[in-house]
Chain A
Amino acid sequence: MTLLHWAVLLPFIAAILIPFLYKYLKRIHTGWFVLILPLVLFVYFLSFIPKTSSGEVILNNLNWVPSLGINFNVYLDGLSLLFALLITGIGSLVVLYSIYYLSKHKEKLNNFYVYLLMFMGAMLGVVLSDNLIVIYVFWELTSIASSLLISYWYTREKSVYGAQKSMYITVFGGLSMLGGFSLLYVIAGTFSIRELIANADLVMASSLFIPAMILVLLGAFTKSAQFPFHIWLPDAMEAPTPVSAYLHSATMVKAGIYLVARLTGVFGGAPEWFWIITIAGLVTLTWGSISAVRQKDLKGILAFSTVSQLGLIMSLLGAGSAAFYFQDGDNALYMTAILAAVFHLINHATFKGSLFMAAGIIDHETGTRDIRKLGGLMTVLPVTATISLIGLASMAGLPPFNGFLSKELFFTGMLNVTEYGIFNLETFGFIIPVIAWIASVFTFLYCILMFSKTFMGKFDISKLKVKHVHEAPIGMLISPVILAALVVVFGLFPNLLAYSLIEPAMAAIIPGILSPGEFFDVHISHWHGFSPELWMTFGVVALGILLFMTFKKWENTAFYRGEQDLFNYAYDSGYEGLIKGSQWITRLQMTGRLRDYFIYMNTFIILIMAYTMYRYSLPAIQSLDLSPIPIYFWLVILVFIGSIVVIPFINNRVALIIATGVSGFIVALLFVLFRAPDLALTQLLIESVSVILFMLVFYHLPKLKKVKTPPKMKAVKLIISIGFGLMITLGSLSVFSMGQEVNFDSISEYYTENSKEEAGGYNIVNVILVDFRGLDTMLEILVVSMAVLTVVSLIRLRFKGSEDI
């Protein structure tokens, strides 16, 4: 255990303490205690920057299940550090914000902070582990924590719906990812990511490459809300706003991005990886930005915009993965894509975090997030308006904010794709920058719509539920102001990040491309001359403003009025169909008829036994050393068979009992013939008692009716019963012949030899029962006594008449 291990485990330990703090220190908001942890961790992770920026990696091993190759090895390089800083940094700000957002009098703070800390620990576990199985465990923990946080207000129907939806989709992805990881283990024999990257050639050559890749990508795409799995994210907005800002924009949804970035070293270079990720990213980007325009809920807009921005980062990672195809070649082409991905990841966390917090403030102060009711808040909430303006301008890609820089880099990355000259890109490649450009127009449009609808226009308090609207308390403003300040700082001085965070992360995403000691050339600047990217930005702004000006024209179209995502219908009907389908199947098999259950069970038993016998050629019974059959035995058997076969045809109660009685007494006779005197005695006794009991009871039962069974049913019954009997016969014979063939020493010898010496008895069966296995017999007596008590109480019990047995 090293400090890094403790960094992952500390949030979990803290989560255990929270309920006590909440219970015994009610006067202080629990958030203040929680705040210490992410702050300390953030400072701790900052101390690693000098190490990672010089290209160093830290690996601390801790064996967990070494025999299965599962070890809790923490691994810290540029990429992990970047994520760790995001998790703890944004985490601190979100906790601070939540202290003012969630009232200590009304809310169940203990639940909230336990889930939040659990999430923080799990997320750190995901980004710091080197072992795929450990990543999977933490991955699922983030899903669970996320669901719990979405359903934090668990009395609201929509919260529960959103929580379930996110759980189903992300856990489905998680399970496929586990399948993918297992396939990787099958291929390379290791769960360690470093070793997998070292054996990337082996993985690439395997026939399991494509299945493994698709399964892993399912995990990443569901988590990062990529099309068409994005539908859970908008519903996750039912969570308290601090949660939305933290999990559903800055950290958890980026776990999929992290996984793709991390495994680029394993899968990158394959055309399938390039195409799937780039296309999924671009489709998500476009779909998300167009859907965001349709939303009327502030958090809805932000949710779809998050979907769209995640798609943007994903497509950049796809484009950048071509690096492995070129190996060394001209690295400037793909490098821009990776650079843009990392840079935008940071930028998105800053501006989207601040926007979510601003939306939370608006919700908190006005009581609504509906943009149709809001308006003119600029003068009422000046600070929030400023924060939003900065965030939205950055998201729309306007200078001088950081969003502008990463948007320009994004365009460059997408334009470069057309020059790769591989994967048939020279023919269809031009589509990629075109799609990117169209999506950016819509991004610009929803940003401008969101700002104008919320802050411009006329302020109309009559539409709101509250009487007075005033600026949020200072504590609530600290976090968004810090984030908005970062947006400006990173925009003006992007090179602050260049070699401290971005370059080490890039080196971690595409490892092995640079020789040791070399660094990627990272230089981000505002002005590149009148390049195509700049013209594209001009185009985005012009078309975006044009669409905004003509808003009145398309305000009433079906496109704008509806806001449901098409894929929600698919999810809802699929979900309902699943429930209906399982109910249908259950009703089909759970009929409540003994007969049906017997038919199902016996059919399967017969099939399984028949298959086993066929598979292992058991009916080929070879050496049957049979005992001779004396003549009188035939007679006994004939009567026996007769008494049994006649039973199903009897329609008279007394006759039925007599026939069963006869068969029982013949069994006693058979025991005599089989040299089992004790059995014969017992059987005689028991059979007599049974017959008496039957006789006593039958008097109280109705007469047997002659039952008419339809011929079809009769045939089914006959086939099943005869088939079952046949299997028993064959089974009995094969066991008998196998016993003779194998010729093991029977354990019975022990009893024969020792019953005199050890127990002093001559009757071996008796000795076994009362001496060798005495305890068993004692418990058997207990069982019989219980049976007797049951019988007595059932007979003596007086019923009132309406009870159900």
Chain B
Amino acid sequence: MELLMSIVIGIIFSVTIYLFMSKNLLRVVAATLLLSHGVHLLLLTMSGLQRGAAPILSFDADAYTDPLPQALVLTAIVISFGVTAILLVMSYRTYKVHKTDDLEELRGSADE
């Protein structure tokens, strides 16, 4: 399963990087969302998958899945949501001000 997941994560990263190189703001924001999925799955996969019960103490389980990556990922999910939210609103404002969401047209600064 880890091999399969590693390949899937590779695919996610490929698509993400491809989207990052596009000209459209919405696509870039979608890419950040995908990127965080990729990273979360990567953290879990690297420590091994489906090895023992869910990390909730009980009498009938003798092994638990590693809780530490889960704790890390939980934090990461929340933070990445914050990032996505800000990016989204930023792109909304950028479009309001500049009337374009094309990164090609947005480049450069006012004094150039």
- What's the Cα separation between A674 and B43 when bound, in Å? 12
Taking a contact as CB atoms under 8 Å apart, the answer to whether A682 and B6 are in contact is: no
Residues of A within 8 A of B64 (CB): 752, 764
Main secondary structure of the interface of A (DSSP, over half): helix
Taking a contact as CB atoms under 8 Å apart, the answer to whether B21 and A724 are in contact is: no
Taking a contact as CB atoms under 8 Å apart, the answer to whether A735 and B89 are in contact is: no
Residues of A within 8 A of B107 (CB): 591-593
- What's the Cα separation between A327 and B87 when bound, in Å? 78
Question: Would you call A137 an interface residue if the criterion is a C-beta within 8 Å of the partner chain's C-beta atoms?
Answer: no
**Which parts of A753-795 form the interface with B (CB within 8 Å)?**
755-756, 762-765, 768-769, 773, 776-777, 780, 783-784, 786-788, 790-791, 794-795
- What's the Cα separation between A698 and B19 when bound, in Å? 17
Taking a contact as CB atoms under 8 Å apart, the answer to whether A637 and B24 are in contact is: no
- What's the Cα separation between A677 and B8 when bound, in Å? 21
- The residue from A595, A653, A663, A765 contacting B55, defined by CB atoms under 8 A apart: A765
Residues of A within 8 A of B60 (CB): none
| 0/1 interface trace, chain A 651-672, chain B, CB 8 Å (1 if under) | 0010011001001100100110
Q: CB-nearest residue of chain A relative to B17?
A: A721
- What's the Cα separation between A653 and B66 when bound, in Å? 39
Taking a contact as CB atoms under 8 Å apart, the answer to whether B68 and A697 are in contact is: no
Taking a contact as CB atoms under 8 Å apart, the answer to whether B71 and A769 are in contact is: yes
- What's the Cα separation between A765 and B73 when bound, in Å? 10
- What's the Cα separation between A673 and B12 when bound, in Å? 19
- What's the Cα separation between A64 and B61 when bound, in Å? 62
Assuming the contacts A644-B15, A725-B10, A725-B14, asked whether A628 and B103 have C-beta atoms less than 8 A apart, the reply is no
Taking a contact as CB atoms under 8 Å apart, the answer to whether A729 and B49 are in contact is: no
- The residue from B56, B65, B74, B79 contacting A762, defined by CB atoms under 8 A apart: B56
- The residue from B85, B94, B104 contacting A791, defined by CB atoms under 8 A apart: B85
- What's the Cα separation between A677 and B65 when bound, in Å? 11
Residues of B within 8 A of A747 (CB): 68
**Which parts of B32-50 form the interface with A (CB within 8 Å)?**
33-34, 37-38, 40-42, 44-50
* A643 vs chain B, min Cβ distance (A): 10
Taking a contact as CB atoms under 8 Å apart, the answer to whether A653 and B26 are in contact is: yes
Taking a contact as CB atoms under 8 Å apart, the answer to whether A644 and B12 are in contact is: yes
Question: Would you call A13 an interface residue if the criterion is a C-beta within 8 Å of the partner chain's C-beta atoms?
Answer: no
- What's the Cα separation between A43 and B72 when bound, in Å? 72
Residues of B within 8 A of A674 (CB): 44, 49-50, 65
One of A124-132, A316-324, A546-554, A687-695 at the interface:
A687-695
Taking a contact as CB atoms under 8 Å apart, the answer to whether B68 and A748 are in contact is: yes
* B102 vs chain A, min Cβ distance (A): 8
* B65 vs chain A, min Cβ distance (A): 4
Taking a contact as CB atoms under 8 Å apart, the answer to whether A748 and B34 are in contact is: no
Assuming the contacts A700-B95, A701-B92, A748-B66, asked whether A721 and B14 have C-beta atoms less than 8 A apart, the reply is yes
- What's the Cα separation between A230 and B101 when bound, in Å? 57
- What's the Cα separation between A689 and B33 when bound, in Å? 13
Residues of A within 8 A of B4 (CB): 629, 633, 637
Q: CB-nearest residue of chain A relative to B82?
A: A787
- The residue from A678, A704, A735, A804 contacting B46, defined by CB atoms under 8 A apart: A735
Assuming the contacts A676-B44, A720-B21, asked whether A689 and B81 have C-beta atoms less than 8 A apart, the reply is yes
- What's the Cα separation between A717 and B9 when bound, in Å? 18
Residues of B within 8 A of A764 (CB): 55-57, 64, 67
- The residue from B16, B28, B66, B79 contacting A783, defined by CB atoms under 8 A apart: B79
Assuming the contacts A644-B15, A664-B33, asked whether A768 and B71 have C-beta atoms less than 8 A apart, the reply is yes
- What's the Cα separation between A641 and B83 when bound, in Å? 24
Taking a contact as CB atoms under 8 Å apart, the answer to whether A679 and B77 are in contact is: yes
- What's the Cα separation between A756 and B46 when bound, in Å? 27
- The residue from A592, A686, A794 contacting B81, defined by CB atoms under 8 A apart: A686
Residues of A within 8 A of B88 (CB): 693-694, 697
- The residue from B13, B24, B25, B37 contacting A707, defined by CB atoms under 8 A apart: B24
- The residue from B45, B73, B91 contacting A732, defined by CB atoms under 8 A apart: B45
Taking a contact as CB atoms under 8 Å apart, the answer to whether A736 and B95 are in contact is: no
Question: Would you call A588 an interface residue if the criterion is a C-beta within 8 Å of the partner chain's C-beta atoms?
Answer: no
Assuming the contacts A677-B56, A686-B77, A732-B45, asked whether A656 and B30 have C-beta atoms less than 8 A apart, the reply is yes
Q: CB-nearest residue of chain A relative to B104?
A: A593
- What's the Cα separation between A659 and B104 when bound, in Å? 25
Question: Would you call A607 an interface residue if the criterion is a C-beta within 8 Å of the partner chain's C-beta atoms?
Answer: no
* B32 vs chain A, min Cβ distance (A): 10
Residues of A within 8 A of B3 (CB): 624, 626, 733
- What's the Cα separation between A725 and B7 when bound, in Å? 8
**Which parts of A605-625 form the interface with B (CB within 8 Å)?**
624
Question: Would you call A431 an interface residue if the criterion is a C-beta within 8 Å of the partner chain's C-beta atoms?
Answer: no
- The residue from B11, B65, B77, B97 contacting A641, defined by CB atoms under 8 A apart: B11
Taking a contact as CB atoms under 8 Å apart, the answer to whether B90 and A736 are in contact is: no
Assuming the contacts A629-B1, A725-B14, A729-B10, asked whether A769 and B75 have C-beta atoms less than 8 A apart, the reply is yes
Taking a contact as CB atoms under 8 Å apart, the answer to whether A702 and B65 are in contact is: no
Taking a contact as CB atoms under 8 Å apart, the answer to whether B48 and A739 are in contact is: yes
- What's the Cα separation between A686 and B73 when bound, in Å? 13
Assuming the contacts A648-B15, A676-B70, A693-B88, asked whether A637 and B8 have C-beta atoms less than 8 A apart, the reply is yes
Assuming the contacts A690-B84, A700-B92, asked whether A633 and B1 have C-beta atoms less than 8 A apart, the reply is yes
Question: Would you call A683 an interface residue if the criterion is a C-beta within 8 Å of the partner chain's C-beta atoms?
Answer: yes
Q: CB-nearest residue of chain A relative to B53?
A: A675
Q: CB-nearest residue of chain A relative to B3?
A: A626
Residues of A within 8 A of B73 (CB): 676, 679
Taking a contact as CB atoms under 8 Å apart, the answer to whether A682 and B14 are in contact is: no
* B21 vs chain A, min Cβ distance (A): 4
Residues of B within 8 A of A783 (CB): 79, 82
- The residue from B17, B56, B79 contacting A598, defined by CB atoms under 8 A apart: B17
Taking a contact as CB atoms under 8 Å apart, the answer to whether B54 and A722 are in contact is: no
Residues of A within 8 A of B90 (CB): 794, 805
- The residue from A626, A769, A797 contacting B2, defined by CB atoms under 8 A apart: A626
Taking a contact as CB atoms under 8 Å apart, the answer to whether B20 and A777 are in contact is: no
Question: Would you call A422 an interface residue if the criterion is a C-beta within 8 Å of the partner chain's C-beta atoms?
Answer: no
- What's the Cα separation between A678 and B72 when bound, in Å? 12
* B22 vs chain A, min Cβ distance (A): 7
- What's the Cα separation between A555 and B110 when bound, in Å? 57
Q: CB-nearest residue of chain A relative to B33?
A: A660
Taking a contact as CB atoms under 8 Å apart, the answer to whether A739 and B94 are in contact is: no
Residues of B within 8 A of A769 (CB): 71, 74-75
Would you mind naming 6 contact pairs between A and B with Cβ atoms under 8 Å apart?
Answer: A644-B34, A702-B100, A707-B24, A725-B11, A791-B85, A801-B97
Considering the complex of A and B, which 9 residue pairs feature the smallest CB-CB distances, nearest first? A725-B14, A729-B10, A787-B82, A592-B107, A725-B10, A721-B17, A721-B18, A764-B67, A764-B55
20 new A-B pairs (CB below 8 Å) besides A645-B11, A697-B88? A627-B2, A641-B8, A644-B11, A645-B15, A671-B44, A701-B91, A704-B24, A717-B21, A728-B38, A732-B10, A736-B45, A736-B48, A746-B66, A748-B67, A751-B67, A762-B57, A769-B71, A769-B75, A794-B90, A805-B90
A-binding residues in B (CB < 8 A): 1-28, 30, 33-34, 37-38, 40-42, 44-58, 64-68, 70-71, 73-75, 77-79, 81-86, 88-98, 100-104, 107-110
